[in-house]
Amino acid sequence: MARIAASADVDDRATLGDNVVVWHLAQIREDAVVGAGCTLGRGSYVGPGVQMGANCKLQNYALVYEPAVLEDGVFVGPAAVLTNDLFPRAVNPDGSLKSGEDWECVGVTLREGCSIGARAVCIAPVTVGRWATVAAGSVVNKDVPDFALVAGVPARRLKWVGRAGFPLVDEGEGHWRCPETGETYTEADGVLTLDA
């Protein structure tokens, strides 16, 4: 059963999994799917048809515009934004107000376990890879590889991180180790994979 604050606005056509928590002033639009165990912070927004997996966290005032897809275990920090319009304009060239039929929305995809830092902006249609981390305040305008730590405007890869979020230790010859869990990883051709 979901726990929904009285001031939250959850459309009757949205689907919420078990143990979802929706805090004050959050809004979940029509046809959105919010997986079991998710927490939506104060003032967060989930657009129409957005798909969220299990155990995701949207911090206060995070804005997730349709048609974003968030896989299981995704973290979106305070005031982070997932955009959906490649060429934003309020009006058409003739000055008439744009309507939903006047543009094509594109979504951001956040893969399993990734984290988006506070006030970061992901510009659709980017994909942030599994267990990657986007540093606070970054602007992501190209895809982020699995396990990458990216930062800056525009964001670029600085390090590799493990599933625990800690920067990995270079063991040499393409081998990396997590100082927190001891998990090991292998890098080949700019791609990092968790060892079996």
3-state secondary structure 23-80: CCCCEECCCCEECCCCEECCCCEECCCCEECCCCEECCCCEECCCCEECCCCEECCCC
How far is residue 23's CA from residue 43's CA, in Å, rounded to a whole number? 8
How far is residue 135's CA from residue 116's CA, in Å, rounded to a whole number? 7
Position 59 scores a pLDDT of 98
Position 26 scores a pLDDT of 98
3-161 CATH fold: UDP N-Acetylglucosamine Acyltransferase; domain 1 (2.160.10)
Is residue 1 pLDDT above 90, yes or no?
Answer: no
Position 100 scores a pLDDT of 83
Position 102 scores a pLDDT of 86
pLDDT digits (tens, 9 = 90+) for 30-80: 999 999 999 999 999 999 999 999 999 999 999 999 999 999 999 999 999
Position 57 scores a pLDDT of 98
Q: What is the DSSP letter of 96?
A: P
Position 101 scores a pLDDT of 86
pLDDT digits (tens, 9 = 90+) for 134-164: 999 999 999 999 999 999 999 999 999 999 9
Segments making up each domain of the chain, as ranges: 3-161, 162-196
State both tokens at 74: 């995704």
The residue with greater pLDDT, 196 or 31, is: 31
Confirm if 157 and 139 have CB atoms less than 8 A apart: no
pLDDT digits (tens, 9 = 90+) for 71-101: 999 999 999 999 999 899 999 999 999 988 8
